[in-house]
Chain A
Amino acid sequence: MALKEKPLVEVRFHGRGGQGAWTASLLLAQAGLKESKYIQSFPAFGPERAGAPITAFTRISREPIRIHSSIYEPDLIIVLDQTLLGPQVLEGVKDDSKLLINTNLKPSEIKDKLQKSLEVWVVNATELALKILGRPITNTAMLGAIVKASEIVSMESIHQVIKERFTGRLRDQNLELVDIAYRTVTKDD
């Protein structure tokens, strides 16, 4: 079943403290909210230190969400930092889970590293963010890539959320960033 057709989609974000993984999970949930879906967004509450590996979670559902535990078997895994690629990233992965990673590697190279048969999407979010924002803040770029890889929310909803979150030049830059990430994200064959 395609992700967008699932009644409940569970997303896990992997990032390092300061990269904005929780914010990405919040913005994705807010995009779901724009579509009148039921949502949850929460961080894994570990030590909050810049650079430390952190995880955050988003649930998007057509029905009210009553479950209040962590996500153990994610449908979609988002990796904001390729140095995090390791066993934790694959924890609870299912046959039909998808993985989207910020990397300069090709999907096939990531698959070789993972040694796991799952759909892999890659986007060079760091390069895009450096080019457009001038800083390696990749969480908004990942949102554009998520839309292309999963279609669980629309680009229009992501645009709305970006417009509410940022103002002025930063808003325009982030809108450009999500669009270009959407266009350049690629999948393995």
Chain B
Amino acid sequence: MYEDGEKGLIVTDERLMMGLNGDEAVAYAIKQVEPDVVAAYPITPQTIIVERFSEYVANGLVKTDFVSVESEHSALSSCIGAEAAGARAFTATAANGLALMWEMTFIASSLRLPIVMAVANRALSGPINIHNDHSDAMGARDSGWIQIWCENSQEVYDACIEAWRIGEHTNVQLPVMINLDGFTLSHTMENVFTLPDDVVKNFVRDRRFIKVKGHLGESELRLDPGTPITMGPFDLQDFYFEHKLQQVEAMRRALEAIPEVDAEYEALSGRGYRLIHPYMVDDAELVIVGLGSTMGTASYVVEKLREKGVKAGLVKIRVFRPFPKDELVKTLRSIPVVGVLDRAISFGAPNGPLCEEVKTAFYEEKDRPLIANFIHGLGGRDTSPSMIEGMFHRLMKIKSRGRVDQLIEYVGVRE
């Protein structure tokens, strides 16, 4: 139990247990972090985040400057300006809002601004749909943002605290996107164990800057009239390529920084997640790999199948960018059959976006599983335990046949 001034484990204090939906968990964590600037435009299913946070501002519970902008493009632009000036900035969006930000997402990451953004994942129009799938975040896959994916409101809360330390890590300096499934998490109230305000504040501490060469000598990477630097200038054939490789290197180093920050957070909260979360894979023959809230349902199915003697397991990918290739290969190398769940389509591609990553990870490996791909739950269609059980039965068939006949299976769709 936590005492004043004592650094200890806080897991069992029931006074800190709250009933929060995913959006409220974001807002509450960000209230505790108290960034300098929040600039956001409401869009379903992220709206509750912006509503709650603006209430905190109106009630004087945070000193944050809340910028009500006229679009998501402006929301991220405001965050970029604020972070470039050395402030901490947060925004939240979903689907078409993220699409409207698209141009600025690349600018935020290439300027190396550790903005934190929550995305309540929602299907992109058209046809217009407000419910969950992963087409929004997968569309921003190559924009240079770290991507964390959450299974429940607790993970959402924890990620909204850890994200600042990950993005601002002096070896990283990249923006972080926290993904929570629209409605399935954003509008579902669950138990969330929170940390006391001071513990959160101490953990996120002040923003750290890297040193760069400025016009007047060494300077922190932020806009300060006393030590002027230029950010985002013209950068052509001469240096653009080198700057891109610096982003590549930052992503590589994020693979080390994320578990490091996470271990520190675990020591404080009792909750750690690392890059991937394997469940019952040690002796497993059939393993499902996926992202987000579906993996909670899948773990329920795995337990049911284990009771029936089926050697089922799962691997939840918590961090999709940077992609945790080595951990994944190590975990899945000796598994006979793996099914990768995608909640997005890459039209015309041989597989869904997550499956392509998993297959690429294994290409150079001598020992590798048979890999099947299930695309499910587009536009918010519910992925039920029986659907997931059906996927495991498909994996069983693949195992007995010794080959994958169909590159993609669409689950729960009418013919």
Asked if A30 contacts B384 (CB within 8 A), the reply is no
Asked if A69 contacts B188 (CB within 8 A), the reply is no
Asked if A39 contacts B190 (CB within 8 A), the reply is yes
Chain A, residue nearest B386 (CB)? A72
* Bound complex: CA A41 to CA B19 (Å): 9
Give A30-67 interface residues, CB cut-off 8 Å to B. Answer: 30, 33, 36, 38-43, 45, 64-67
Asked if B191 contacts A45 (CB within 8 A), the reply is no
A35 to chain B, nearest CB (A): 10
Instruction: Indicate if B263 sits at the interface (CB-CB under 8 A).
Output: no
Q: Contacts A66-B297, A66-B300, A68-B296 given; indicate if A41 touches B131 (C-beta within 8 A).
A: no
Asked if B296 contacts A39 (CB within 8 A), the reply is no
Q: Count of B residues near A, CB < 8 Å?
A: 29
Question: Which residues of A are found within 8 Å of B385, using beta-carbon distances?
Answer: 67, 69
* Bound complex: CA A30 to CA B189 (Å): 9
Chain B, residue nearest A64 (CB)? B191
Question: Which residues of B are found within 8 Å of A68, using beta-carbon distances?
Answer: 151-152, 181, 184-185, 188, 293-294, 296-297
Instruction: Indicate if A177 sits at the interface (CB-CB under 8 A).
Output: no
A64 to chain B, nearest CB (A): 8
Question: Which residues of B are found within 8 Å of A65, using beta-carbon distances?
Answer: 190
Q: Contacts A29-B19, A30-B19, A39-B19 given; indicate if A69 touches B383 (C-beta within 8 A).
A: yes
Asked if A69 contacts B382 (CB within 8 A), the reply is yes
Interface residues as binary, B383-410 with A (CB distance below 8 Å gives 1, 0 otherwise): 1111000000000000000000000000
Question: Which residues of B are found within 8 Å of A33, using beta-carbon distances?
Answer: 17, 19, 191
B371 to chain A, nearest CB (A): 24
Give A59-118 interface residues, CB cut-off 8 Å to B. Answer: 64-70, 72
Instruction: Indicate if B283 sits at the interface (CB-CB under 8 A).
Output: no
Asked if A70 contacts B382 (CB within 8 A), the reply is yes
Asked if A26 contacts B189 (CB within 8 A), the reply is yes
Asked if B190 contacts A40 (CB within 8 A), the reply is yes
Question: Which residues of A are found within 8 Å of B183, using beta-carbon distances?
Answer: 42, 45
Asked if A45 contacts B131 (CB within 8 A), the reply is yes
Question: Which residues of A are found within 8 Å of B188, using beta-carbon distances?
Answer: 40-42, 68
A60 to chain B, nearest CB (A): 11
B249 to chain A, nearest CB (A): 36
Asked if B191 contacts A69 (CB within 8 A), the reply is no
Q: Contacts A68-B152, A68-B297, A69-B297 given; indicate if A43 touches B189 (C-beta within 8 A).
A: no
Chain A, residue nearest B18 (CB)? A33
Q: Contacts A42-B187, A66-B300, A68-B184 given; indicate if A36 touches B14 (C-beta within 8 A).
A: yes
* Bound complex: CA A66 to CA B184 (Å): 12
Instruction: Indicate if B54 sits at the interface (CB-CB under 8 A).
Output: no
Asked if B14 contacts A29 (CB within 8 A), the reply is no
Question: Which residues of A are found within 8 Å of B130, using beta-carbon distances?
Answer: 45
Residues of B within 8 A of A (CB): 14, 17, 19, 21, 130-131, 151-152, 181, 183-185, 187-191, 293-294, 296-297, 299-300, 380, 382-386
A-B residue pairs, 6 tightest by C-beta: A68-B293, A42-B188, A66-B296, A41-B189, A67-B300, A68-B296
25 A-B pairs in the complex with CB atoms less than 8 angstroms apart:
A26-B189, A29-B19, A30-B189, A33-B19, A36-B14, A36-B17, A38-B190, A39-B19, A39-B190, A40-B188, A40-B189, A40-B190, A42-B21, A42-B188, A66-B151, A66-B296, A66-B300, A67-B296, A67-B300, A68-B151, A68-B152, A68-B188, A70-B384, A72-B384, A72-B386
Supply 16 further A-B pairs (C-beta < 8 A) apart from A39-B189, A45-B187, A66-B300: A26-B189, A33-B19, A33-B191, A36-B17, A40-B188, A40-B190, A42-B187, A64-B191, A65-B190, A66-B152, A67-B300, A68-B151, A68-B152, A68-B294, A68-B297, A69-B384
